Amino acid sequence: MLAKRQIGKAGELLVQYRLLLRGIESSRMTTDAGIDLVAYAPNRKLALTIQVKTNLKPKPGGGKGTLALDWWVPCATPAQLYALVDLEMERVWLLTKAELARTAQQISSERWHLYIYTGSPKRAKTWATLGEMEQYLLENRLQKVFGVS
């Protein structure tokens, strides 16, 4: 069983690996100031900051419900982008702060809470499904965010 810290680092490394395969350099930050990675988009000559949140695998919603991934993200994080990672399936979703705020199902003054059902949802109106989140998959965001295909 992986420790929480190992799950987080594995998520960061997966994001870095997937970016590097597309020619995007990135570097981990040495301290946790709300930014985990800085990625350089060479076609845009632009550095972008990324906060990474990672799930090892889906878990039952509410403890007994349909399998879902979920992430709690602090609203005050200074990152420009948020990478939400599913280690089991090696999926990465990449959202801007505005997209995360708009997509999160629960919002408090301090945190956003985003759910994605991985099975058949019973309450599809409140939780996002994999199909609805496809537009945010890293491979579908590369051109818009980093200027690469």
Please give the pLDDT value at position 70. Answer: 93
Q: What is the mean pLDDT of residues 11-21?
A: 97
pLDDT in tens, 75-85: 999 999 999 99
User: Is the distance from CB of 68 to CB of 59 less than 8 angstroms?
Assistant: yes
Please give the pLDDT value at position 126. Answer: 55
- Model pTM? 0.91
Question: Which residues lie closer than 8 Å to 118 by C-beta, 6 or more apart?
Answer: 58, 66, 67, 68, 69, 130
Three-state secondary structure call for residue 24: coil
In order of their start, the domains of the chain are 4-146 (3.40.1350.10)
Three-state secondary structure call for residue 42: coil
pLDDT in tens, 36-82: 999 999 999 999 999 999 999 999 877 788 888 999 999 999 999 99
Q: Which residues pair with 39 in a beta bridge?
A: 26, 48
Among 39, 34, 79, 87, residue whose Cα is nearest residue 59: 87
Token pair for residue 9?
């680092």
Please give the pLDDT value at position 127. Answer: 55
